[in-house]
Amino acid sequence: MNIKNRIEQIKASLPAHVELIAVSKTQPVERIREAMEAGQLAFGENKVQEMLPKQEVLPQAQWHMIGHLQTNKVKYIVPFIHLIHSVDSMKLLAEINKRAARINRVVPCLLQVHIAQEETKFGFSPDELRNILNGTEIHALQHVQIRGLMGMATFTPDQDQIRKEFKSLRKLFDILKESSLPKQVSMNILSMGMSHDYRIAIEEGSTMIRIGTAIFGERTA
Ligand SMILES: *Cc1c(COP(=O)(O)O)cnc(C)c1O
| Predicted TM-score (pTM) of this structure | 0.97
What does the radius of gyration of the chain's CA atoms come to, in whole angstroms?
Answer: 17
Q: Residue 67 CA: which ligand 1 atom is closest?
A: 13
Pocket perturbation via mutation, ligand 1, pick of 210, 215, 219 by most ligand atoms within 8 A of CB = 210
Q: Give the pLDDT of residue 157.
A: 95
Q: In this predicted structure, what is the pLDDT of residue 220? A: 77
Residue range 3-216 in CATH 3.40.718.10: no
Q: Which pLDDT tens digit goes with each residue over 40-56?
A: 999 999 999 999 999 99
Length of the chain: 221
Q: Which atom of ligand 1 is nearest to the CA of 214?
A: 9
Please state the domain extents for the chain.
3-216
**Distance in angstroms (rounded) separating the CA atoms of residues 131 and 135:** 6
- Among 66, 72, 76, 77, which residue's Cα sits nearest to residue 95? 72
Q: Which residues line ligand 1 (CB under 6 A)?
A: 23, 25, 46, 66-67, 152, 194-196, 210-214
Using CB atoms within 10 A of its CB, is residue 128 exposed (0-12), middle (13-18) or buried (19+)? middle
Band (pLDDT 50/70/90 cuts) for residue 1 is confident
Distance 210 CA to ligand 1 centre (A): 6
Report the distance separating Cα 171 and Cα 175, nearest Å. 6
Residue 113 has pLDDT above 90, yes or no: yes
Task: Give pLDDT, residue 221.
Answer: 64
What is the distance in A from the centroid of ligand 1 to the CA of 74?
Answer: 21
Would you give the DSSP letter of residue 139?
G
Point out the ligand 1 atom lying closest to the alpha carbon of residue 86. Answer: 13
Residue to mutate (ligand 1; options 19, 20, 23; most atoms within 8 A of CB): 23
152 falls in which pLDDT band (50, 70, 90)? very high
Ligand 1 center–CA 181 separation, angstroms? 29
Chain mean pLDDT for the chain: 96
- Binning pLDDT at 50, 70 and 90, where does residue 120 land? confident
Per-residue confidence (pLDDT) for residue 219, from 0 to 100: 87
